[in-house]
Amino acid sequence: MTYIAKPKFHHPGLKKNELGYTHRDYEGKISTLCAGCGHDSITASIIEACYELSIEPHRVAKISGIGCSSKTPDYFLGNSHGFNSVHGRMPSVLTGANLANRDLIYLGVSGDGDSASIGFGQFAHSIRRGVNMTYIVENNGVYGLTKGQFSATADRGSKSKKGVTNTDNAIDLVAIALQLGATFVARSFSGDKTQLVPLIAAAIRHKGASFIDVISPCIAFNNHAGSTKSFDYVREHNDAVNRLDVLVGRDPIAVDYAPGTVQMVEQHDGSRIALRKIDADYDPHDRLGAQTFLARHAAKGQIVTGLLYVDPDADDLHEHLNTVETPLNTLEADTLCPGSAALDKFNASLR
Amino acid sequence: MSDKKPISSVNDFVVRFANVNGSGSASANEMFARAILRHGVPVSPRNIFPSNIQGLPTWYEVRVTEDGHLGARGGVDMMVAMNPQTWDKDVAGIEPGGYLFYDSTKPMPSTKFRDDITVIGVPLTAITNSTYTDPRQRQLFKNIIYLGALSALLDMDPKLIEQLIGEQYKGKEKLLSSNVHALHLGRDWALQNLKCPTGLRVKKSDKVGDRIFIEGNSAAALGAVYGGATVCAWYPITPSSSVAEAFTAHCKKYRHDPETGKAKYAIVQGEDELASIGIVIGASWNGARAFTATSGPGISLMTEFIGLSYFAEIPAVIMNIQRAGPSTGMPTRTQQCDIIACAYASHGDTKHVLLFPEDPAEAFEFAAAAFDLAERLQTTIFLMLDLDIGMNHRLCRPLKWDDARQYDRGKIMTAEMLDEGRDFGRYLDVDGDGIPYRTYPGTHPTKGSYFTRGTSRDRYARYSEEGSVYADNMQRLMRKFESAQDMVPRPLQANAERPTKYGVIYFGSTSPAMDEAIGLLDVRGHQLDRLRIRAFPFHSSVASFLAEHDFVYVVEQNRDSQLRQLIVNENGIDPVRLVPIVHYDGSPITARFIAKAIGDHQDHLKVTPLRKAVS
pTM of the model: 0.96
Give the confidence band of A269 by pLDDT, cuts at 50, 70, 90: confident
Determine contact: A331 vs chain B, CB below 8 A. Answer: yes
Sign of CA dihedral A335, A337, A338, A339: negative
- Give residue B88's pLDDT: 96
- Give residue A251's pLDDT: 59
CB B398 to CB A347 under 8 A? yes
User: Is pLDDT of A82 > 50?
Assistant: yes
User: Is pLDDT of A254 > 80?
Assistant: no
Q: Give SS3 for B468.
A: helix
| Residue % of chain A over a pLDDT of 70 | 96
Average pLDDT value for residue range A237-247: 92
Burial grade of B488 (CB within 10 A; 0-12, 13-18, 19 or more): buried
CB B463 to CB A1 under 8 A? yes
CB B454 to CB A347 under 8 A? no
pLDDT digit string, tens, across residues B538-582:
999 999 999 999 999 999 999 999 999 999 999 988 899 999 999
d(CA B356, CA B506): 10
pLDDT digit string, tens, across residues B137-146:
898 899 999 9
User: Is pLDDT of B4 > 90?
Assistant: no
Give the confidence band of A253 by pLDDT, cuts at 50, 70, 90: low
Best CA proximity match to A84, nearest among A58, A105, A109: A109
- Give residue A1's pLDDT: 43
Highest-confidence segment of A245-254, A266-275, B114-123: B114-123
- Give residue A12's pLDDT: 80
Give the confidence band of A252 by pLDDT, cuts at 50, 70, 90: low
Determine contact: A320 vs chain B, CB below 8 A. Answer: no
| Residue % of chain B over a pLDDT of 90 | 93
How far is B440 from chain A, CA to nearest CA, in Å?
Answer: 8
pLDDT digit string, tens, across residues B354-376:
999 999 999 999 999 999 999 99
How far is B281 from chain A, CA to nearest CA, in Å?
Answer: 6
Q: Contact B465/B514 with Cβ under 8 angstroms?
A: no
How far is B13 from chain A, CA to nearest CA, in Å?
Answer: 21
pLDDT digit string, tens, across residues B258-302:
999 999 999 999 999 999 999 999 999 999 999 999 999 999 999
Determine contact: A20 vs chain B, CB below 8 A. Answer: no
d(CA A1, CA B458): 12
Looking at chain A, list the stretches that DSSP marks H as alpha helix, in order from N- to C-terminal side: 38-52, 68-71, 90-100, 112, 120-129, 173-180, 193-205, 231-237, 287-299, 317-321, 333-336, 339-348
d(CA A173, CA A178): 9
CA B54 to chain centre: 25
pLDDT digit string, tens, across residues B33-59:
999 999 999 999 999 988 888 888 999
Helix axes B124-131, B173-193, angle to 10 degrees: 140
User: Is pLDDT of A246 > 70?
Assistant: yes
User: Is pLDDT of A215 > 60?
Assistant: yes
pLDDT digit string, tens, across residues B174-231:
999 999 999 999 999 999 999 999 999 999 999 999 999 999 999 999 999 999 999 9
- Give residue A70's pLDDT: 96
How far is B419 from chain A, CA to nearest CA, in Å?
Answer: 15
Average pLDDT value for residue range B472-489: 98
Dihedral angle at the C-alpha atoms of A115, A120, A126, A132, nearest 10 degrees? 20
CB A104 to CB B442 under 8 A? yes
Q: Give SS3 for B424.
A: coil
Best CA proximity match to B49, nearest among B76, B71, B22: B22
Give the confidence band of B306 by pLDDT, cuts at 50, 70, 90: very high
Average pLDDT value for residue range A294-298: 95
Give the confidence band of A268 by pLDDT, cuts at 50, 70, 90: confident
Average pLDDT value for residue range A318-343: 98
d(CA B380, CA B355): 11
Mutate to test the interface with A, among B160, B230, B456 (most CBs of A within 10 A): B230
